[in-house]
Amino acid sequence: MTPSLNDLPDSLTAASDALEKKSISSSELLEINIAQIEATDKKVNSFVTHMFETARKDALSATERAQNGTRLSPLDGIPIAVKDIYDTEDVVTSRGSAAYKDHIPSKDATTVKLLRDSGAIIIGKTNTHEVALGGTTNNANHGPTRNPWNLDHVPGGSSGGSASALAARQCLGALGSDTGGSIRIPAAFCSITGHKPTYGLVSRAGVFPVSYLLDHAGPMAISAEDCALMLNVLAKYDPEDRDSINIPTQNYTSELNDSIQGLQLAVIPSFLEGCEKEVLTNFLSSLEVMKELGASIEYFEPIENINEIREKIACLISAESGTYNLIALENNLISEPGRTRMLSGLSTPVETYIEAIQLRKEIQAIYEKGLAKFDAYITPTTPMTAEVIEDDPRQEKHILNKFKNTQIFDFSHQPSISVPNGLSNTGLPTGLMISTKLFSDALTLRIGHAYQQVTNYHLQSPEI
């Protein structure tokens, strides 16, 4: 009997356990995901490129390894999607732009290679906001990706295709990238889990840049435990990324089930400003869950003038992305509103750019200092739920408010995870963000996992 969506394990972790027990094969798992893509992707448009032929070959090899008891890792045989700014050998990496529609890399990005080496099955490339500069994934070149929870709404961006694919159960893990919130906002909007690792922990070699000073590569999945399993594979030193940090390899699942009793969590009051009513309601409910788990909650503002500083640092993104896309801009191949943002960035005075670099370091120092007293910051991922898709992909009305909370932890370089924490009255997901000290990713994941052990928001999936 051919396996169906009902046979799909409810997480990457559960799928890995099933593969280990031989209750399902990698080939069967892959075919469930492929069938789900074929059944739903005309509606949600998560993928821009399918890699089914090579995936089926790789799944056969993974099936044989599982049968022989020689699985390469817990990711061996797991279908994983890759955001279309990650290089994939001999497969188009369009970066969501007409400017790069013919770009065929000669080798995989380091992260993609690490996934392949672990036995993971690359199922395809997911849609992104053009050149990963925006928060809707309403792409002028590939069409809009739609939120599986409500097809009239965006999935967030720029990793919206990866989040949509996970929410629609088209895959069990995905790669995203985060410069101002592009892993965590789609995670919140689509009710999946997204982890932005500490800056430098995961290689960005072979990942098209938005801002080298702020870009983070990281895992997206159904649960924090899934993200930890992925991070075990992805967190490797890579000399090809000059910002890669050479630290001892860590097992991010080893302390995952430790209690969070006694942890001190800080709520940042300014991050509650401008929140939609239901975002705030779900956040306050999440605080009660944390208290029941034994954590203490205190309100603490690391820095008073954060809004002013946030605006000054944001010029780094437009200035750097404009530089990386200069030829495409000169040939008029970048769509609005990214084009205007980049051109504005290119006119940034040197003094302003240098001030932004210095302020970023100041934010990092201040937010690290705040965690001398606390174990983590806990906030709404974003003040809003997913907005309606605009008919004109050049429109993005809510970008400043949408990224308000997430971008601070790109500036600080600290690890930050978004986990699902409920739905609005109209059925749109909201997210809870947990952020900790530099290189304390294991703690970030542990707090997220503890929350998910007593809630089931991450296991809920929409009917498409």
Residue 262 lies in a domain: yes
HSE-CB of 386 using CA atoms within 13 angstroms:
37
**How far apart, in whole angstroms, are the C-alpha atoms of residue 123 and residue 397?**
33
**How far apart, in whole angstroms, are the C-alpha atoms of residue 428 and residue 388?**
11
Residue type, 404: K
Q: Give the pLDDT score at 312.
A: 92
Hey, which residues does 426 pair with through a beta bridge?
Answer: none
Q: Give the pLDDT score at 308.
A: 86
Q: Give the pLDDT score at 444.
A: 98
In angstroms, the Cα distances linking 384 to 194, 283, 308, 405 are 17, 12, 21, 11
Residue 1 lies in a domain: no
As a 3-state breakdown, the chain gives helix, strand, coil percent values, each rounded to 5, of 40, 15, 45
Residue 3 lies in a domain: no
Residue bearing tokens 């700014």: 85
Residue 4 lies in a domain: no
Domain count, the chain: 1
Residue 325 lies in a domain: yes
Cβ-contact 152, 389 below 8 angstroms: yes
Catalytic residue among 16, 27, 94, 158: 158
Q: Give the pLDDT score at 91.
A: 98
Annotated active-site residue 321? The verdict is: no
Residue 179 lies in a domain: yes
Catalytic residue among 94, 97, 182, 286: 182
CATH of the domain at 108: 3.90.1300.10
DSSP state string for 303-364:
-TTHHHHHHHHTHHHHHHHHHHTHHHHHTT-S-TTHHHHHHHHHT--HHHHHHHHHHHHHHH
Find the domain containing 340 and state its range.
9-459
**How far apart, in whole angstroms, are the C-alpha atoms of residue 274 and residue 87?**
38
- Strand bridging mode 264-267 / 296-299: parallel
Annotated active-site residue 158? The verdict is: yes
Annotated active-site residue 182? The verdict is: yes
pTM: 0.97
Catalytic residue among 83, 113, 196, 404: 83
**How far apart, in whole angstroms, are the C-alpha atoms of residue 126 and residue 179?**
17
pLDDT tens profile 288-299: 999 999 999 999
In angstroms, the Cα distances linking 256 to 251, 264, 415, 449 are 10, 17, 15, 7
Cβ-contact 84, 161 below 8 angstroms: yes
Of the chain, the percentage scoring pLDDT greater than 90 comes to 94
Residue 423 lies in a domain: yes
- State which residues of the chain have pLDDT below 70: 1-2
What does the block give as tokens for 359? 């302020």
Q: Give the pLDDT score at 1.
A: 55
Q: Give the pLDDT score at 396.
A: 80
pLDDT tens profile 187-196: 999 999 999 9
Cβ-contact 219, 416 below 8 angstroms: no
Residue 441 lies in a domain: yes
